[in-house]
A and B are shown apart, each in its own frame.
Chain A
Amino acid sequence: MLKSVSTTALAAVLIGLCGCDSAAPEAAVAAAPQHPDFSGIWFPAGRQQDPRNPEFTPGAAAAAAEYEKAFTLDDDPGRYCQWPGMPRAVWGAPFTVEIQQRPQDFTLYWEGYGMYRKIFMADSAPPVPVLPSAMGYSVAHWEGDTLVVETSNLKQYPYMNRQATSDAAHVVERIRLEEREVDGQKTKFIVNELVLTDPKVYTGPIKITGTLRHRPDLQPLEYTCTDALWDEYLNERGLTLPDLDALPNPQG
């Protein structure tokens, strides 16, 4: 935001110096859109879904039946550090979400699983998608105070009891800021109303609302998920790492 304002101010000065029409700088400033600022530290604060139990397509229903024969809830990709990805990250695990907003893009960092996502603004020459990914390829535009984000290029998430999605999944998010009273204090919330469509997996759209509460008091923490997996490997190999923490410290 500061950069945007500074750029605008610099442009105004340069236009003034050039001896151009004196009305032009004011017009440029007036035209600069003022958008909500989603930057900050946030924490999940609820989720609603409609329909609650989405109907599978015949192909997905057959896949789900096979899946249920072999898999249990404890065959959990999260335990093995697989990212939930989009759209599941929107209502995700109870850890902080950090958002950095610039005029040309948004960067989102989920503490849980260390997930990372870019949202590119459509009017800022977004790059072309390269590979399907867990978070997909997201391009956004503003409709008034609402950020509208379309996400595609998702790699499949074939866990049939965990909001499975295929490469045909498409997510449209409508994201806005709300101010609510919490314990007598005005508190900011991000409300994300998304629609998931996936014609390979679901017979109709799924509407989900995920809410984040502004929590500037929270410190994002590192979330290294693979330590236990590495320990298991070491145990299987019969290897023991040196304990450097147990060494004497000559500096006291």
Chain B
Amino acid sequence: MKKLLTGLLVAALTAVAIPAAAHHSFAIYDMTQNIEFDGVVETLKMRNPHMAMTLTVTNPDGTKKTINFVEGAPANMIVRMGLNPADVAPGKPIKAFGAPRKDDPNAYFLKAIVLPDGRRYVSVGN
């Protein structure tokens, strides 16, 4: 167990990038974009074949908007990178990087998560 935990920690600290959705292409997303959002997790679905998340972001004028990450890494893959689901539970502040869908700019692929302490979990080149 100690070896496993050490392995996961190393994976987290080195921000291992694994192709998160190897079973299909990213053609529906504009993966050239890497949009950064600071916000608070609103909903989280740790599931396969892709996790999903919504993030509440506060605009400069104080209003709030919801960013919809409709797909991300498979849950199994991102926890193997070392992400503790409790760190991205609803109410937790995080930084997230997304690529918008080409046909729906309000839906994003979740490319990476950065926790307040700097730990990064990268599912697609970021």
Residues of A within 8 A of B (CB): 72-74, 76, 78-79, 81, 84, 93-95, 111, 217-219, 221, 223-225, 227-228, 231
Contact = CB atoms under 8 A, between A and B. Distances in A.
Given A94-B19, A225-B49, A228-B47, A74 B25 contact: yes
Contact of B76 (A73, A76, A111): A111
Given A217-B3, A224-B48, A227-B45, A93 B23 contact: yes
Contacts of B24: 73-74, 76, 78-79
Nearest to A43: B80
A94 B77 contact: yes
B18 to A, nearest CB: 6
Which of B19, B48, B50, B76 has the most A CB atoms < 10 Å from its CB? Answer: B48
A95 B23 contact: no
Contact of A74 (B19, B27, B48): B27
B76 A81 contact: no
A134 B27 CA distance: 27
B66 to A, nearest CB: 16
Contacts of B80: 218, 221
Nearest to B51: A228
Nearest to B18: A94
Interface in B38-85: 45, 47-50, 52, 74, 76-77, 79-80
Contact of B77 (A76, A78, A95): A95
B7 A217 contact: yes
B35 interface: no
Interface in B1-34: 3-4, 7, 18-19, 22-25, 27-28
A239 to B, nearest CB: 16
A228 B50 contact: yes
A189 B44 CA distance: 37
B28 A74 contact: yes
A145 B9 CA distance: 37
A219 B4 contact: yes
Contacts of B47: 224, 227-228
Contact of A217 (B4, B23, B48, B77): B4
Contacts of A72: 25, 27
Contacts of B45: 227-228, 231
A79 B23 contact: yes
B9 to A, nearest CB: 13
A79 B4 contact: no
Closest 7 CB pairs of A and B: A78-B23, A73-B25, A76-B24, A227-B47, A221-B76, A223-B48, A74-B28
B103 to A, nearest CB: 11
Nearest to B48: A223
Contacts of B77: 94-95
B125 to A, nearest CB: 15
A93 B22 contact: yes
A248 to B, nearest CB: 17
A73 B3 contact: no
A218 B4 CA distance: 7
A219 B25 CA distance: 27
Contacts of B76: 95, 111, 221, 223
A93 B27 CA distance: 19
A95 B77 CA distance: 8
Nearest to B4: A217
